Amino acid sequence: MLLHLSTWLEVEDYLTRSQGIIVPIGSTEQHGPTGLIGTDAICAEAIAHAVGEATHALVCPTLNVGMAMHHTAFPGSISLRPSTLILVIRDYLTSLVRAGFTKFFFINGHGGNIATLKAAFSESYGTLADLNLPNADRVECRLANWFTCGSVYKLARELYGDQEGSHATPSEVALTQYLYPDFIKQAPLSPDVARGYPIYGANNFRDRYPDGRMGSNPALATPAHGQRFYDWR
């Protein structure tokens, strides 16, 4: 059940059965020469919709833009500042808690969101308490990063070994290839790929990781692999 394809009457009825909602969140950022800029949002949304269908849970519209400041030296990347994302999450939660939701399960597709999301949860708990909203003390936010799920991690290591890397990975590229087979990209990839550098500002990131990859070899990705990751959700 998708929130944006529901009516308010349907949501009101849903709340008589459950006060939980799934919130997919990703990012709009470069993913190397062959990865789609929407990869993180595409993956989080697909997994969230599948989980929602399996659990009969309501799924919120996907938050497509996250905290990706370090990718903004690459054309097409869009980022919210951490402080902005915290306020966006706070306002989402405040609106939904007013409606009667109390349990929030965030399915995340971008590592750069993790610290900001955890801060946003703490900020939101304080705001909800200050507003004295009914059930504010019952609100719980949980975060799941699909790419660190045990079954996903195990399969990625089995398929790609140390060429999985940590950004523009073959696992996430494979999932997008399965979901959007008409948009598979091809480009030359150097066998020498940077890895292990700490992340600072955007220009520093591009200097350290000139083609956008972080230790990964997305040329190993296939749509068939992507289906396996999807089915292992």
Taking only the tens place, the pLDDT of each residue in 120-137 is 999 999 999 999 998 999
pLDDT for the residue numbered 233: 54
Torsion, Cα 166 84 119 63, to 10 degrees, reads -60
Question: What CATH number is attached to the domain comprising 142?
Answer: 3.40.50.10310
Confidence of residue 47 (pLDDT cuts 50, 70, 90): very high
Q: How many domains would you assign to the chain?
A: 1
Taking only the tens place, the pLDDT of each residue in 151-161 is 999 999 999 99
For residue 133, what are the domain limits? Answer: 3-231
How far is residue 127's CA from residue 106's CA, in Å, rounded to a whole number? Answer: 19
**What is the number of other CB atoms lying within 10 angstroms of the CB of residue 209?**
24
| Chain mean pLDDT for the chain | 97
Instruction: State pTM to two decimals.
Output: 0.95
CA distances (Å), origin 11, targets 55, 70, 98, 112, 142: 16, 38, 13, 31, 21
